[in-house]
Structure 1
Amino acid sequence: MVLNQLTVFFIIIYVFESLTIIAQSSFTLAILGREWVLVKRLSPAEMILICLGICRFCQQWSSVLSNFCFYFKLNCVLWNTEIIWEFTNVLTFLFASLLAVFYCVKVSCITHPIFFWLRWRILRLVPWLLLSAVVISCVAVIPSAIRTHIQLELTIMEHSPTNSTLIEKLKMFEQNFSKAHKIVVLTIPFLLFLVSTIILMACLIQHWKQMQQHNTSLSNSSLKAHSSALRSLAIFFILFTAYFLMIVLTFADMKSKKGHWCWAWEVIIYAIVSIHSTSLTLSSPTLKKALKIKFWGRESA
């Protein structure tokens, strides 16, 4: 297969982004893993971040394999890597939603009894919620494994004297079911992320307005902290929403899957993932401190 210059350009950018995401995930795993070895414990937020780092690391490698297998028509490897990518993608959505729910429960000023109960139990619930996310992701990809088996059967049937109309109907049903299943599976955790983030932002804005009425130096520093938190939340909200929309459009086949447009679409998606990973890294005090030490020395920390 002959590659034109534009395709090569997009492939190079995509590979660079993939290596960046893998490096970011590896950094998260190394720093938080070392923290766990030294201190023998991690905060709930750090537990979610390290799980998200593992997930992103595996997801990016499966994405690279899947995209190159698809482009160079290595179908025997493609179907297996697609299942791995789908599993890690669902898990990424669940972990990101869990992170939003955790901060919503810890920071929000809602006085409903359910929130009081969650605020009291959340520290002990996080490990079980992480395990539940893994189990849910395993269950969610079962239809994809069945779909892979159907694809293999349909491929065999194409080379046998079978009714071609029946094969086309089966293919159409399989494709439509696959699209609907993938979109629904991702929409549920995304809505959870959406609701949690909106509640958290509303509470922070309300608290920020209340503090504006005071003019003390303490309130000024609190205002800056709240403004910074709101900016971070807005960035998380925009990036994660953009990633969700891109993935949904991909599943809906609203992009061209041929030539350089395939790689251009992947460049856009994983540019969003890279920026989102960077934002998550900077939101963790432990990871932020490690970055300062690495690039500016211990005096800066």
Structure 2
Amino acid sequence: MPSSSMLTFMVVFFLESLAAMLQNGFMAAVLGLEWLRCRTLPTADLIIACLAVSRFCLHGMAILNDLLAFFDSKMNYFNVPWDFINTLTFWLTAWLAIFYCVKISSFSHPIFFWLKWRISRSVPRLLLGSLMVSSLTISNSAIGNRNLASLMASHGDHGNTTLADRIWTFHLCFFLPSFMLLTSIPFSLFLVSILLLIFSLHRHLGQMKSHGSCQRDPSTQAHIAVLKSLSFFLIFHTSYFLSLIVVTTGITTFQNPWHWAWEVVTYAGLFLHSGTLVLSTPKLRKALKTRPWKALLRG
């Protein structure tokens, strides 16, 4: 019988995930209808739409996977697609940050001029590339989950601790490093993009001050607007990344209250950032004001 603290964390996790699915479903529906109406979307909105779809699937599979694993820890049917969607989400997040960095930063280096000219036309290919790279996690995840299933079976098979130790060592030495590598690369790109935006804003404000200008020009306002959104996401995304390390190392089990506490922390960042995207994207903010689900999304 679950303890009261475990039940509390479980309820918070499921409500949080359902609310996040509602948010991302709203984002995908609004931008999808806009694409059907105009047959095109601005580049940033295209990335946001793909990100919303991937997060909707991520939250849905997290609910199913955690619920099934709670009742039967040997059932890992959704671990493989969860790893695939999770990696895809990391890459889409990185492309969104890179797109804003390239478009808004005021660097005069020729590479940035070339990127500004090419980035919008390259986004569809980058999204397709993210899909292909994320597909690499399928075989890796299948191997890792098969080893974990063997590990749990060996524990229940007359206490075969030697085999269990070998499988767990393989899990720690192969599966986890490869999984963290596939997620740390897009996370690093995301982090570098934010740092470049901060440096660009600092340099731009210094130039404005040296010219005796005290008013904010459009470039400064664009820097600040994007950094507000990305700075929130830096906190949320970092907490999500660090929480994944704890969850994937298997430190806690589904029957442990701390596992569900970590699940709440892990998905809280995605939920909160989806809310900031809704409020910072003009099309979504306009749709939010004219739709009856306004109170639900903000709640």
**Which residue pairs with 2:23 in the alignment?**
24
- Alpha-carbon separation, structure 2, partners of 1:250 and 1:4: 20
**Which residue pairs with 1:292 in the alignment?**
289
Normalising by structure 2, report the TM-score. 0.87
Deviation, structure 1 residue 180: 1.4
- Alpha-carbon separation, structure 1, partners of 2:150 and 2:252: 27
Residues 14 and 263 of structure 1 are in contact (CA less than 8 Å); yes or no, is this contact kept in structure 2?
yes
| 1:136 maps to 2:157 | no
- Structure 1 segments unaligned to the other structure (5+ residues): none
The one-letter amino acid of 2:243's match is M
**Which residue pairs with 1:63 in the alignment?**
62
- Alpha-carbon separation, structure 2, partners of 1:226 and 1:73: 49
What is the root-mean-square deviation in Å for CA atoms of aligned residues? 2.7
**Which residue pairs with 1:8 in the alignment?**
7
Show CA shifts across 1:146-172 (max 9, x none). Answer: 2334445666777889x8634532342
Residues 22 and 60 of structure 1 are in contact (CA less than 8 Å); yes or no, is this contact kept in structure 2?
yes
Residues 172 and 249 of structure 2 are in contact (CA less than 8 Å); yes or no, is this contact kept in structure 1?
no
Show CA shifts across 1:122-152 (max 9, x none). Answer: 1110000000000000013321112334445
Q: Structure 1 residues 210, 259: CA separation in 2 closer, same or farther (over 3 Å shift)?
A: same
| 1:199 maps to 2:188 | no
SS of match in other structure, 1:294: coil
Query: Percent of pairs identical after alignment?
Result: 36
Deviation, structure 1 residue 293: 2.0
Alignment of 1:202-221 (within 5 A): 202-212=199-209, 213-215=212-214, 219=216
SS of match in other structure, 1:75: coil
Deviation, structure 1 residue 176: 3.2
- Alpha-carbon separation, structure 1, partners of 2:164 and 2:89: 35
| 1:40 maps to 2:43 | no
Deviation, structure 1 residue 204: 2.0
Number of equivalenced pairs: 292
Deviation, structure 1 residue 174: 2.8
- Alpha-carbon separation, structure 2, partners of 1:220 and 1:166: 65
| 1:145 maps to 2:142 | yes
The one-letter amino acid of 1:186's match is T
Greater Cα shift, 107-116 or 219-228: 219-228
Alignment of 1:1-301 (within 5 A): 2-76=1-75, 78=76, 80-152=77-149, 165-166=162-163, 168-212=165-209, 213-215=212-214, 219=216, 226-255=223-252, 257-294=254-291
- Alpha-carbon separation, structure 2, partners of 1:264 and 1:150: 26
- Alpha-carbon separation, structure 2, partners of 1:15 and 1:167: 32
